[in-house]
A = this chain, B = another copy of it.
Amino acid sequence: MGATRTARELARFELTQAIKDEARRQLAVDGAVKLSMRSISRALNMVSSSLFRYFPSRDDLLTALIIDAYNAMGEAAEKAARGNPREAWLGACHGVRKWAKKNPHEYALIYGSPIPGYQAPRDTVTAAARVPLLMIKHLRYAWDLKLVESREPSPPLTEGLDAQIVELGKEIAPELPAKVLNRALIVWTQLFGMISFELFGQLVGSVDPSDEFFAHAIGQMADFVGLRTPY
């Protein structure tokens, strides 16, 4: 644990970071698919085989990048979630979009088409849950404060769906009615659908640039889950 032991470990840590940084740089240029161990090593003036001391395979490097990306997005969202529950919810949405627009290739890495032949390990799941859990957290705050009240009546959930939602709710938000949680899920898919459409070019020709569309949409979606502004 002394400084001596740290000397080697510190070097290792720093090179690991350098590798990931270079990988992210290349991600931004050529996308996840073209990312190669050899080109990273070249950029770092290393011999290609030495990279394997740090990441035993290309997939391991990808996994590390994926986890980092989820965490970076999660952190961005958390930092942007300020104010009363509704404001925090909207802030989180804006935070996610802002991060995504700044890091489109990292976004594509985690929300784009799965990389063929790559199987995401369990480790990614907790990182991936960060944003949805953040949204649920503020929805729960709102619920506690009696600031959730949906105007439009929603039809009853079908049996199987109700069971799924209740099961999910047990883990993350036991006090929320299934109908509310269900709507939160819908909004969650809408949020990422909108961001993906924007980044992947599907909005070109309709509402591009999308700042105002986005801002207005998340407001309407907050209404949809029933998030009210406190008086």
Contact = CB atoms under 8 A, between A and B. Distances in A.
Nearest to A186: B217
Interface string A159-183: 0110011001000000000000011
Contact of A30 (B34, B117, B193, B215): B117
A161 B128 contact: no
A191 to B, nearest CB: 7
B161 A212 contact: yes
Nearest to A187: B190
Interface in A199-231: 200-202, 205-207, 212-213, 215-217, 219-221, 223-224
A213 B164 contact: yes
Contact of A164 (B160, B164, B207): B207
Interface in A133-173: 151-155, 157-158, 160-161, 164-165, 168
Contacts of A157: 212, 216
Contacts of A151: 151-153
Interface string A17-31: 000000000000011
A195 B207 CA distance: 21
Top 4 A-B pairs ranked by shortest CB distance?
A: A193-B193, A112-B113, A31-B116, A108-B113
12 contacts: A31-B114, A33-B116, A151-B151, A155-B216, A155-B220, A158-B216, A164-B212, A165-B207, A186-B220, A189-B193, A193-B197, A224-B224
